[in-house]
Amino acid sequence: MHKSRPLLLVEDDQVDARAVKRALDDLNMADSVVHLPNGEEALAYLRSGVNERPCLILLDLNMPRMNGIEFLREVKNDPSLRRIPIVVLTTSREDRDVLGTFEHSVAGYMVKPIDYPKFVQTIQAIAEYWSLSVLPAGV
């Protein structure tokens, strides 16, 4: 990951959030993770003007108050936020969810494995890709 910038985890399930943080810890990549429980709070965080812009957003879809698709719609329609890469990390395998997220220009769609070693492999793949990825200036 881009070590100087935080990763924003938007996830309502505390167990899943802990699993992501633990996997990043196990991979020595958990320098800075900001966890928020829904899209509404994540959007407020991004628009606050005082918080550091994340290098990547990991986004669950099924959340209260503002779900992942609603969050994507808002972020991708905001010129100041639309370039932040977003990877969906969810339990949904529904075609409508996959298609709906790619219609909002997600960088990737990952299904959360139930098995922890496979979960770590998924997080590692995401982390390794983003540690090598070049982001445009200002993102």
> Could you give all domains of the chain from N- to C-terminal order, each with its CATH number?
7-131 (3.40.50.2300)
pTM of the model: 0.91
77 pLDDT exceeds 70?
A: yes
Tens of pLDDT, residues 35-70: 999 999 999 999 998 999 998 999 999 998 899 999
6 pLDDT exceeds 90?
A: no
* DSSP conformation class of 90: E
Burial tier of 60 (Cβ tally within 10 Å: 0-12, 13-18, 19+) = buried
Q: What pLDDT does 30 receive?
A: 66
